[in-house]
Amino acid sequence: MKRIKTISEVNEKRGKTFLTLFSLPILLSVIGLFFVFEASYVRSFGEFRDSFHYFKIQAVWILLGIGIMAILSYVDYHKLYYGAFFLMLANIFLLFLVLIPGIGTKVNGARRWIFGFQPTEMAKLSAIIYLSSWFITKERKRFYSFIILLGLLMFLIILQPDMGTAVIIFTLSIIIYFLAGIELHYLLLLVPFSGISFYLLAKSSPYRVKRLLAFFDPKADPLGITYHINQILISLSNGGLFGQGFGSSKQKHLYLPEAHTDSIFAIIGEEVGFLGSFILICLFIFLVIYIFRIAEKAPDRFGRLLAGGIFAFFAVQTIINLASMVHIIPLTGVPLPFISYGGSNLLLSFTLMGIVLNVARSIKIL
């Protein structure tokens, strides 16, 4: 009788964990949908004579993403192992393809889109799956092959240019390598090398140099390169403790660039204040904690590396977006998962959650 009760309790706990993991992304995306409308309806009406233009597109992406997450939660994650190499190969091909004029679409000086799709988002997925598959066994002398692959991915992404995504891919890959526990002493070599590389990349582009100068002195060029970060800081300071109230943001009236995409947190902070923003951040903290628990208890090495890589993705991308919004790091074009407008990152986020949910299904005791 005691044994039956124990099994029942275990199943109940597994059910609650699964439900929480399934519900949190949906809750975050619904919050994001509301604020996408709040941040975009002025621009949307001006461009399309339809205040709900971006809202309707985002709603479709969310429904599609939920469907993908639900399907992948039932697909055995071990099957990803067999497609990992081909996924990485296809992604490298797309990263080459997007650089070709006439095929890749250039927006704001960056060539990152093919028919509205960003191959860099697929690069995050392929890096997580491929490296998790590659590091299942602890083979020696793999570090240099790993660096060559990582260098190729980052080189293609920086050519677009997309420094923010390059940093995320680099960090994700290093974390997965660390979790794999293979020749960890080699990672010490990357500390000076990566620091020098990112410094040279910043110096090689006048735009990146200006971004760094804007970070150290936001008042240097308030109508030029520092305009964006100044508008973000104005928006957040307007929010105060409790916010201006829903619909009361002033910065969304075309003052704040990319208000419904990468800078959406500034609008959230302005309308719901510090307390509302803190609650949103707590939801992200709960999400990454649950994913970390799944990574800890995954039944095999592949599951642990997959869930660990997905944990790293959500943690790193969220931290980079929020840190750039509050001026802790230089401003980068990195979306906030589930919240920012855009189909590529939203579908990637739901896809990764579907994989985590399937890993969670295979755990006997949570």
**Can you give the pLDDT at residue 4?**
46
Contact 244, 236 (CB under 8 A): no
In angstroms, the CA 110 to CA 101 distance is 11
Give the containing element (helix H, strand E) for 22. helix 2-48
Rounded Cα–Cα distance for residues 141 and 148 (Å): 13
Query: What distance, in Å, lies between the first and last C-alpha atoms of the chain?
Result: 21
All residues at 6 or more sequence positions from 145 whose CB lies less than 8 Å from its CB, including other chains = none
Q: Which residues pair with 114 in a beta bridge?
A: 117
Per-residue pLDDT of the chain (366 residues; tens, 9 = 90+): 445 446 666 666 767 777 888 999 999 999 999 999 988 888 888 888 888 889 999 999 999 999 999 999 999 999 999 999 999 999 999 888 888 877 777 666 666 777 667 888 889 999 999 999 998 877 667 788 888 888 888 888 888 777 888 889 988 988 998 888 777 677 777 777 777 776 776 666 666 667 777 777 777 766 667 788 888 888 888 888 888 888 778 888 777 887 888 889 989 999 999 999 999 999 999 999 999 999 999 988 999 999 999 999 999 999 999 998 888 888 777 899 999 998 888 999 999 999 999 999 888 765
pTM for this entry: 0.90
Phi-psi region of 243 (alpha: psi -120 to 50; beta: other; left: phi over 0): left
Written as one letter, the residue type at 319 is: I
Biggest alpha carbon distance in the chain? 73
Contacts of 352 (CB under 8 A, 6+ apart): 125, 128, 310, 313, 314
Report the candidate in 56, 101, 89, 126 with the shortest Cα–Cα distance to residue 348. 126
Q: Which two tokens stand for residue 148?
A: 């060559």
Rounded to whole angstroms, how far apart are CA atoms 104 and 97?
7
Output the pLDDT for position 2: 44
Where in the chain are the domains? 2-361
Retrieve residue 206's tokens.
């006048």
Residue 336 is given by DSSP the state P
Q: How many CA atoms lie within 13 A of 175 on its CB side?
A: 23
What is the rounded distance in angstroms from the CA atom of residue 55 to the CA atom of residue 230? 26
